[in-house]
Structure 1
Amino acid sequence: MHVVIMGCGRVGSSLAAAVERLGHSVAVVDKDAQAFRRLGTDFHGRQVVGGGFDRRVLVEAGIEEAAAFAAVSSGDNSNIISARVARETFGVEHVVARIYDAKRAEVYERLGIPTVATVPWTTDRLMRTLLPDGVASAWRDPTGKVAVVQLPMHEGWVGHTVASLEQATGARVAFVMRFGTGVLPTPKTVVQADDLVYVAALSGTISDVTSAAGQSPEEAS
């Protein structure tokens, strides 16, 4: 499989090396020829100097036979324009763009371009490192508005239904891990001891959700 990467910063160079280690061919595009130094001497892919949304540059990088394209430069506008050219002009099937402004990610998603909102993703990673016992999202939508979190619960919720938990917390139970197996619950599903409950909630409400779940059902109601 051939992959084209636009942007040879720390992310782009690391991604290029990882893709090449998997045995795929890679081409990296960057306006600054000096940026290719990050690739190291072990990199054997193409290095193309130019803009990521310049069709001639993309053709030189092999976009016409590419199965995937990643736009990971430092500019949101450059990333999304390049991603759209790859998808709409050259018909690349797998396209992703890194976006720093999470508020704009929703707009780009509507254009059919999967995005990675850097700030929310990085924040969650830092949370997991700094506060291993705290609540950090297991998944967040590209806009950063909706998160899926593992919900720490008061032991009193054992024996109560998912519907009552949702009513008390205002969150939606997305799935339950029970004895190592994922379960898609119904409103009548009863919480069992040792269940790991994951809920979907608006990012700004997570503290309220976890606070309600941390109380006994009687206190939360």
Structure 2
Amino acid sequence: MHFVVMGCGRVGARLAHDVEEQGHSVAVVDQNPDSFRRLGPDFSGRTVAGIGFDRDTMLRAGVDEAYAFAAVSSGDNSNIIAARVARETYGVQRVVARIYDPGRAEVYRRLGIATVATVPWTSREIIAELLPTDSSALWQDEAGRVALVELGPHGSWFGRPLEDLERATGARVAYLTRLGHALLPATGTVLQDGDRVFAAVELARRRAAIDAAAAEAEVEA
């Protein structure tokens, strides 16, 4: 598969190498030819000097045959324009843009353009290293609204429907593992001893959800 990366800063150079190491072809675009030095002598992909959303530049990079396009330059506007051109003009289905402004990132996500909001992501990573916060979130979305957590149900939940656990915790069970195998819950799925339960919950409520699952289930009237 062919990938096009716009921006040959540290992120772009690392991304290009990572993709190439997985056996894919890569073209890197940057306005400054000197930036390609970051790729080093081992990079065997294509380098294209030019503006990332310019038609001739994009065609030289092979955007018309690209499986995916990543805009990771230092400019929000350039990244968004390039991402939209790749998707809307050349039909690239997998497009992502790095955006520093979290507000703008949210707007473009609603328009269907995948974005990585660098500032909030970096802030969360630094806080995780600095503060003794719990590590209960296995994953969380870039906007910091939804988290995936593991619920450790109290033994009294076993033998009861997952729907009961969802009501008590306010979480939505995404999947569970049983005897080492993952399975998607269906209507009427009953918790069994040994199940590991993974659920999506509002980030601000993840600790409350975990605590509710760990508490003894109320006896049904």
The TM-score with structure 2 as length reference comes to 0.83
Structure 1 stretches lacking a partner, 5+ long: none
What is the percent sequence identity of the aligned residues?
A: 56
Q: Give me the whole-angstrom Cα distance separating, in 1, the residues matched to 2:120 and 2:175.
A: 22
Instruction: Check 1:100–1:216 CA distance in 2 against 1; reply closer, same or farther (3 A cut).
Output: farther
How far the C-alpha of 1:121 sits from its partner, in A, is: 5.4
How far the C-alpha of 1:165 sits from its partner, in A, is: 0.9
Corresponding position of 1:199: 199
Instruction: Confirm or deny: 8 A CA contact 1:99 1:115 kept in the other structure.
Output: yes
- Please show how residues 137-176 of structure 1 align to structure 2 within 5 Å: 137-138=138-139, 140-176=140-176
Corresponding position of 2:181: 181
What SS does the aligned partner of 2:212 have? helix
Corresponding position of 1:134: 135
Corresponding position of 2:74: 74
How far the C-alpha of 1:168 sits from its partner, in A, is: 1.1
Instruction: Confirm or deny: 8 A CA contact 1:104 1:143 kept in the other structure.
Output: no
The TM-score with structure 1 as length reference comes to 0.83
How far the C-alpha of 1:135 sits from its partner, in A, is: 0.6
Instruction: Confirm or deny: 8 A CA contact 2:137 2:147 kept in the other structure.
Output: no
- Deviation track 1:69-116 (CA, whole Å, cap 9, x = no partner) reads 111223333222211011111222322223344443342233222233
How far the C-alpha of 1:54 sits from its partner, in A, is: 2.2
Corresponding position of 2:212: 212
Q: Give me the whole-angstrom Cα distance separating, in 2, the residues matched to 1:8 and 1:126.
A: 28
Instruction: Confirm or deny: 8 A CA contact 2:4 2:29 kept in the other structure.
Output: yes
Bigger mean CA offset, 90-99 vs 34-43 = 90-99
- Deviation track 1:3-40 (CA, whole Å, cap 9, x = no partner) reads 11011122211111122223322111123333222211
How far the C-alpha of 1:126 sits from its partner, in A, is: 8.3
- Deviation track 1:107-155 (CA, whole Å, cap 9, x = no partner) reads 2233222233445656479859x98x831233x3443322222223333
Superposed CA RMSD in Å reads 2.9
Corresponding position of 2:38: 38
What SS does the aligned partner of 1:217 have? coil
Q: Give me the whole-angstrom Cα distance separating, in 2, the residues matched to 1:182 and 1:124.
A: 29
Read off the aligned partner of 1:207 and give its amino acid letter.
Answer: R
* 1:61 paired to 2:61: yes
Instruction: Check 1:111–1:209 CA distance in 2 against 1; reply closer, same or farther (3 A cut).
Output: same
Q: Give me the whole-angstrom Cα distance separating, in 2, the residues matched to 1:202 and 1:103.
A: 19
What SS does the aligned partner of 2:79 have? helix
Read off the aligned partner of 1:196 and give its amino acid letter.
Answer: R
Instruction: Confirm or deny: 8 A CA contact 1:103 1:143 kept in the other structure.
Output: no
